[in-house]
Amino acid sequence: MKEVIKMDLRKRQPMGVELVRREIVRQEDIERAVEYQREHPNVKLGDCLYALKLCEPEKLITAIGEILGEKGIILNQNTIKIRVTDYIAIDVAKKNKVVPFEINNGKIKVCFANTVNRRSMENIRLLLLNKGLIMETYITFESDIDKILASLEGKASDNISNTSLTGTITNLVDSIIKTGIEKRASDIHIEPLENNVRVRYRIDGELYTAANIDKEKQSQIIGRLKAISNMHQEKQEAQDGRILLYEDYNIRVSSQPNVYGEKFVLRLLKKNTNIKNIFDLGYSGTEEDLKRSVKKKNSITIVAAPTGEGKTTSLYSIIDYLNRQEINITTIEDPVEIRIPGLNQIEIDNKSTFSSALRTVLRQDPDIILVGEIRDTETAEIAIQAGQTGHYVLSTIHTIDSIEVINRLRKIGVSDYDIASTLATTISQRLVRRICPNCRKERKFTQEEKHIIENILGKYGENVNIDEFKTYDAVGCKNCNNTGYYDRIGVFEVLDITEELKELIVKGASSIEIRRKALEGTYRPLIVDGIKKVLQGYTTLEELNKKLLFF
């Protein structure tokens, strides 16, 4: 009976009212905490009371735990009996505001800052269950969790941390780069902050903190990076360089001064990488669909997406698909990221531009020309002319989808006539993380998920029986650095410019009119292919939503 009354009170009474009723704090304490909360809107009431030291911390967190139906505990370094990073990655812990702190008989005690977020708790439960551990839930103050994680963050990469403490600066920088390579990072961020130097890796599109290095080593790290990147040591300005010390990698380096020093970003480009088949990248059409879209002459195909969404990779895959002995293919790139046998690849430097290189290439008897990016009117006009004079041109442009390519070309200054007569296909894409096949946990779709999927697919005439499909929860294991995801897959939409669409473009039709007509044919937006990737088990609805924001 008492339990029922407690649960009813939880539903009816706000936290402050219940704490006053239990005589943990006074009404005036609540008023002070609410005033503090106005200045710190993201801080929960209990954390405000804790920050203001308005009552005994142990009594406060115990009472909060009872009100929420959990065990309350004060979390500090003495509470933690295990090595946290053996059980959960720092970035996962930060995202979910969670710290595991003790193990007994196959049960692991885990502290959360928020036990209302059941999805987050379930993700952590599954992650630990995959390690053979049953989760026992506790609640504590968010500020204490933040302190613990901040103290652990620098220990996320033992290689870097140990070298930072005992090795030379040469060894430290080498360790940072080699660890990034081992972790499959596409980029390494070395960032001077107020009190330290932060190292982060971008893996499968997400940034993860690897280590925090003592501030006193900052100038030496910068000096070493500039030395091996062939940059000017004395210049405190943005510079570009290249590291060629690692046998299998061509590492592009960019420096940019900030208020605490100079930040470096290292792009790790693997030499002689095997080009992925366009279908392996996630292209969802058949080979006949692909031939219809890219086996052309006297035209242009443009791949469109925001920065970092795999446009260049898709272009390489298309070029590799088209490459034959009897075809002369020339590429103009900034820089050449992958060297492909049989191609004439030109790299833009300080003395050339896409437009100037394109003029020269047109005198080299090409059949297919790849232009890394259409950035300005001059490049666009020359590319259009190339397409109109018997060549097949492939390029990229920054837009949100394949239909907006038409508007982007208009804004650059290309006429409606030239667009309609030359543009053959536009392809838009996003990269979403693949769920790790080693640790994923199968489950049925929830009713809410079914409703979302049915609404989206039904809107575009794509009806499926969702009960025939299953989805997966991301769990986390050593293979995927405890993220639950490994590698990425493309989500695509393809717009083939039909005669009907050409007529609309020549008439200056809006993107709304063009989209409406395209939907009458084979065109389907990104979200449709994305949902199909979820149904096929490649990714999750949550991961897809991060890129396309549909719920």
> Where do we find the tokens 């107020």?
194
pLDDT digits (tens, 9 = 90+) for 32-57: 989 888 888 888 899 999 988 888 99
Both 313 and 410 in one domain: the answer is yes
Which of the given ranges, 357-361, 362-366, 515-519, has the highest pLDDT on average?
A: 515-519
Q: What is the mean pLDDT of the chain?
A: 88
pLDDT digits (tens, 9 = 90+) for 396-422: 999 999 999 999 999 999 999 999 999
On whether residue 238 sits in a domain, the answer given is: yes
- DSSP element (H, E) containing 228: helix 218-228
Task: State the Cα–Cα distance between residues 122 and 542, nearest whole angstrom.
Answer: 14
On whether residue 134 sits in a domain, the answer given is: yes
For the residues 63-70, what does the mean pLDDT come to?
Answer: 91
Specify the CATH number for the domain of residue 413. 3.40.50.300
Both 165 and 127 in one domain: the answer is no
- Residue 18: Cβ within 10 Å count: 19
For the residues 69-79, what does the mean pLDDT come to?
Answer: 88
> How many domains, the chain?
3
Bridge-based pairing state of the strands 134-139 and 98-104: unpaired
Picking from 215, 242, 270, the residue at the C-terminal end of a domain is 270
On whether residue 542 sits in a domain, the answer given is: no
Query: Residue 440 has which token pair?
Result: 């994923």
Specify the CATH number for the domain of residue 74. 3.30.300.160
Both 407 and 502 in one domain: the answer is yes
Encode burial over 291-317: b for 16+ CB neighbours within 10 A, e otherwise: ebbbebeebbbbbbbeeebbbbbbbbb
Phi, psi (5° rounding) for residue 264? Answer: -120, 135
> Where do we find the tokens 């509470």?
79
What's the pLDDT at 156?
47
* pLDDT at residue 256 greater than cutoff 70: yes
**Contact in structure between 261 and 192 (CB atoms under 8 Å):** yes
For the residues 298-311, what does the mean pLDDT come to?
Answer: 93
3-state SS, residue 21: helix
Bridge-based pairing state of the strands 471-473 and 441-443: antiparallel
What's the pLDDT at 339?
79
Both 184 and 168 in one domain: the answer is yes
What's the pLDDT at 53?
87
pLDDT digits (tens, 9 = 90+) for 124-169: 998 888 778 899 999 999 989 988 887 665 444 566 766 666 678 9
Both 292 and 362 in one domain: the answer is yes
> The pTM is what?
0.71
| Residues contacting residue 384 through CB under 8 Å, at least 6 positions apart | 300, 414, 418, 422
Kindly list the strands in the beta sheet with 71-72, ordered across the sheet, starting from the edge strand earlier in the chain.
71-72, 134-139, 107-112, 98-104
On whether residue 237 sits in a domain, the answer given is: yes
Distances from the Cα of 191 to the Cαs of 151, 168, 204, 349, in angstroms?
18, 19, 20, 27
3-state SS, residue 357: helix
Both 399 and 514 in one domain: the answer is yes
Both 424 and 338 in one domain: the answer is yes
Both 206 and 311 in one domain: the answer is no
Which of the given ranges, 144-158, 161-175, 252-266, 305-319, has the highest pLDDT on average?
A: 252-266
On whether residue 458 sits in a domain, the answer given is: no
Kindly list the strands in the beta sheet with 344-347, ordered across the sheet, starting from the edge strand earlier in the chain.
344-347, 329-333, 368-371, 392-397, 299-304, 423-435, 485-496
What's the pLDDT at 242?
92
What residue spans of 397-498 are helical by DSSP H? 404-412, 416-422, 447-459
Lowest mean pLDDT among 2-11, 90-99, 116-125: 2-11
Specify the CATH number for the domain of residue 237. 3.30.450.90
